[in-house]
Structures are given as structure tokens and as C-alpha cells.
Structure 1
Amino acid sequence: MRFTLSLVIFFLFLFQCSSNDSNLIPQSCNDASNNDPNLTYDFCVSALEANISKNNPPTNLEDLVGISIQITQTNGTNMIANILKLLNNQTFSQYAKACLQDCLNLYKGSISTLNDAYVAFKAKDFGTANIKLGAALDTSTICEDQFKDKKGEVSPLTKENKVYFQLNVISMAFVHKFNQLT
């Protein structure tokens, strides 16, 4: 009887721990989206769940911060590849190509900046981590805005810039939350 009771308690504890892990992303995204008007809950959850390994899910907010920064870096790397393809497209005006070249340079710099943010976060230097994440976030805004400087010019990166912006917002919100908890 005592063994059975111990076994039941063990499984209840195990179930509670696993259910907390399964709530980590939705709860973290809920907190983040409630505190930042630039982020939607649905985007946050879908972006993280689509990019997190089911075999190695995050078990705490610290893991989730690192993963969110890495997801943003991967997205930035994909942006670089996309921009390189667009630069080879002959249908763009010289002005658009100049904007794309600027965007390429901005995104290349942001990958390094995100790496610096990750290193700062791991060192518990949350102020520097947030400054670096903010700088990376500006990449998408600057890239998008320069197309608007010429009347009639349309950015071919609008959708991708919005995604990159929101991914950075997720990382910033998670760093802020982690900083509050420590």
C-alpha cells in the first residue's frame, strides 16, 4: 500500500512538472503580448512552436530566451539569403537595389548584434542584452523605412521585416521578464 501511494505521488509530481513545461510557451507568450502592443499572442506561440524541437523543448524561461534569440538569428540569416536573391532580380530600380544593399548590410550587422545580445544575456548583463536586441529590432524598421523615402517605391521585404521585428520583440520581452524574476 505504501509503495502504491508513493508511486501515485511520484506520477502526480511527474505530470505536474511536464504540464508546467507544456505551459511555458503559451504562458510566456501571454505575458509578452499583454505587455507589448507590437506582439500578438498567436504570432508568439506559432513562431516558437514551429521552431522548437519537440525532442528538446525549453524547460524554463532562461532556455526560452536563448532559443528565441537563436530563432531570430536564423530568421535574420534567411533574410540575408532572400535579399541576395532579390539583388540578382533585374526588375528592381537602381534605387530599390540600393535600398536592398543597405538592408543586406543592416541584416548582416544584426546577426552579430544578436550574438552579442545572447552573450550578454548569458552573462546576466540584461541591460546590454536589451540594448543589443533593440538595435537588432531597428534593422527591420530602418530597412523598411528607406523604401518609403522615394515616392512610389515599394519594399519587397515588408512581410519579412514585420516577422523579424516581432521575433526581436519576443526576445526583448522574455529578457525583460527573466530580469524581473531574477
Structure 2
Amino acid sequence: MIDSYLRSQSDLDDHVVHLLFSANRWELASTILAYLNQGKLVLCDRYAFSGIAFSVAKNLPSELQTTAPTPSSDLPPITLPWARAPDASLPSPDLTLFLDVSPEVARTRGGYGEERYEKEDMQKRVRRVFGEIGREINGTGAVDDGKWIVVDAGKDLSTVTEEMWRHIAPFLDGLDLPVGRLWS
């Protein structure tokens, strides 16, 4: 259902789509916990923050609008607190690397624009929400000094890879910490 929706082959209410993505994460939560308890490193290319950012961004005004888009139903818009709620208590990442790339740069890369949300205006709104989530996660207002690290993915591949490894390397020998939980 998710794949069909992303490829614009079907339509679903935004609330339903958000909950489907959350259900998909919960489907794998016990597997993630089992791996972590075995001392394994778990890498996710997207997680709860991505679903939240996209769901919330749908209801934000574009740079050219002064008001939020008109909802397509009588249901309330998806807010940050509502979007976080279904993912509360999922295993929390020890580190999040946010690969930040401007929509202008993303547009020049292969495959851009093929999915429902890969439109420049939407990408700008999503980027704003990710910034808000990063500030919330770090709790300081800065997005490069805590568990949420912003990596400039507009740079060349080797530079981005090197920066990512610099942040990941300390985790390769494992952690001696209990597994945290999102928003708990």
C-alpha cells in the first residue's frame, strides 16, 4: 500500500498514510531491539523522523503562500505532536545523521521527482520540519552538537562519506547504554 501511494498509483488520507508508515516501523521494532541486545549495530536509512517531517510538511504553507494549504478533508491537519504520538516508545537512535541537501541540488540527481513527495516546494517544507525536529532532539537549538548531526550532502560523495564515518566510527565498538525510547 505504501509503495503504491508513493508512486501516486493510489490515494489515501494523510492520517492513514502516516499511521501505515508508523505501523511499518512497529513491525520491525522487536527485530531492532533483538539486534541491539545482541550488540549489533543497526543502521536505518529512514526512521520515524522522516515520516513525521513529511506528514507535518503537507500542512505547512509554501514559501509563496501566506496560509497553510486547505485540507482535503474535514479532518484536522497533522501537527508535530500528533505525528510523533504513534512512534512514541519505539527504539530511539543513538545518533541521527541528517543528510541535508537543497532541493536545487537534489533536482540535479538521478531519479528525483519520480515519487509523490519529490517536488521542490514540498522538499523545502520538509527540510524546515527536519530542522525543527533536529533542534528538538538536541534540545539546544543547535543541530550539530548532539544526537542529531547535520551533514551537508550537497558536497561530493567522498567528502560526505568521510564526514558520516567520522560520526559513525565511535559506535562501531558498541555502546554500553540501555536502549532509549522515542519521546518517552
TM-score (norm 2): 0.31
**Larger fraction in strand:** 2
**Larger fraction in helix:** 1
Q: Which has the higher contact order (CA 8 A, sep 6+)?
A: 2
Larger radius of gyration: 1
